[in-house]
Chain A
């Protein structure tokens, strides 16, 4: 059973088609990336998943069926627009948000003490939220999201406002939660974080699926269009190579449609070039993102 199943959902606000046709499923215990450019429909999709909005069309199944009040207590959600009560002490704010997740007050207090220690906020528990730095508020937001030990964690831009040390701490936390069986759906623009953490992704644009599947499989799909070569001497003329770029003696060859890396290697050998390094370049997710979105400019 999937933790989340989104099937052909659509949502329109007035004249704006926020989501046109999005489908994906999130496996239990994985870190899943929901990616897309600004305005692609990511936040609306998340709100549809959480039953904050009702879809005009399509279905959402979460933790085995439609959203219920009981299920809300098994889900942790950190929206892109961070928000905490600014004029009350941090501890009271987090206790209240924990209570709304159905936790008994004493248990909330106990768990909160541990998390405040872990995120170096214990000394600030009595301060009003507005007195905390942006990074501290971000950490407090993460605490409020995981305080009730959710089965499913939905996080929009988890690394925004975090310095490298805290970003690492959050990454470690996400890995730890995954190891404990928590399913995590993460929406972010930071592709290197996705490459580091996610098992599978869906890329949406203009409210529709563009890419969907395991990250390594998607990377393989886009592999083979570029090779990295270091030669002793000048490169010979090569057929089927559209563009070359390089630096530090390394050439990056972008292959034309229909040209395989092996054909390039054969040409180099035929020209008796001295090849010191030959590598089929795996594209970064950034490159995949740009190419995939570029290939679907009018996805709607």
Chain B
């Protein structure tokens, strides 16, 4: 059973207090983000049930929200999730080639995770970074003006740190 740290529980309380009395359900998105970060990068049923109990709402209310929003992972992912934008403006300046390069470099298809569990490759819709396209999200930041060389260097560096 997952359980937030005391610091996180205090944070949850502070978040719930941002909304009027009886509107604690508003805390759901922020608390789901916290849960995903704290419990392994994805939301298991146990995690969602726990979030429901912490906020004081029904588990079904958590499931329907977690499954609606694309930032919530409902399956385990690799340690590093490469989320490459494949919407129009990125594709005008080479996002398709970047995605093909990543597939070949990692030896997986979009949606898959490498066998060492290090990388998951995903495509996402517009990240609001069209002026520095192509772009991807990696954890809590963006990597912009992507080139094949830049990606190769990044992947090698992550692999190097692990071996």
Q: Do A and B come from one complex?
A: no
